[in-house]
Amino acid sequence: MKIAICGSTGKMGKAFIAHFSEQHELIKIHAQGQRLADVIEEVDMVVDFTRAKPAFEHAVLALTHQIPIIIGTTGFSDHQKQLLRLISLKMETGCMLASNFSIGMLWIKRNINELSKYFKDIKIIESHHISKVDYPSGTSLSLKRIMKHPKLPIISIRRDNKQVKHRIILDNENEQVIIEHIVKKPSAYMIQLEECIETIPQMHSFIEYE
């Protein structure tokens, strides 16, 4: 399969290339000024690890050419998501949006709401490398939405550390639960991405993994 990888020089882009270069033919976008528009008619799929503005533009371009796209960035407005949903349905082309592809975090997101309703005091502490521009992290914001605690505080820490950590502390008068998820290497995101790459060609709509 020929895949255009947008954000090929970033941490996630490099990890994607290292993991998938032997399985697929990868076209690196941002390499030597190449644009997605230059190759969109040649590729079978687009994977995007840029930022919200270019990722949205890439998604519109891919979907209008009926090319499925996987987006691993955050910051989309509800209006942008709705537009992508409408375009995806109209073009019958898959569009997948996720703030975090690690297996551990996906499991936490699927189960945390069931636990959080029993706790009044909840906070999230997230730690990323100092080079990460956005804070709070998209993963923390999605956890906050899932748990439906609008005043839930998020503490963002930026250090010269390669590990990514999300700690959820749930507290009430009777007990405390602490859930910590640590990503030791960017390759942690690749296993779930393998499944996404296999399934998205059969998709005909927009899906967001909170």
Q: Are 11 and 186 in contact (CB under 8 A)?
A: yes
Give me 186's structure tokens: 């960017």
Q: For strand 176-183 and strand 206-209, is the pairing parallel, antiparallel, or unpaired?
A: unpaired
What DSSP line would sit under 92-115, residue for residue?
Answer: T--EEEES---HHHHHHHHHHHHH
Which of 11, 19, 30, 132 is the catalytic position? 132
Q: Is 132 a catalytic residue?
A: yes
Q: Is 117 a catalytic residue?
A: no
Which of 128, 149, 166, 181 is the catalytic position? 128
| Residue among 50, 38, 42 nearest 3 (CA) | 42
**How many Cβ atoms are within 10 Å of 162's Cβ, its own excluded?**
12
**How many Cβ atoms are within 10 Å of 31's Cβ, its own excluded?**
11
The catalytic residues are 128, 132
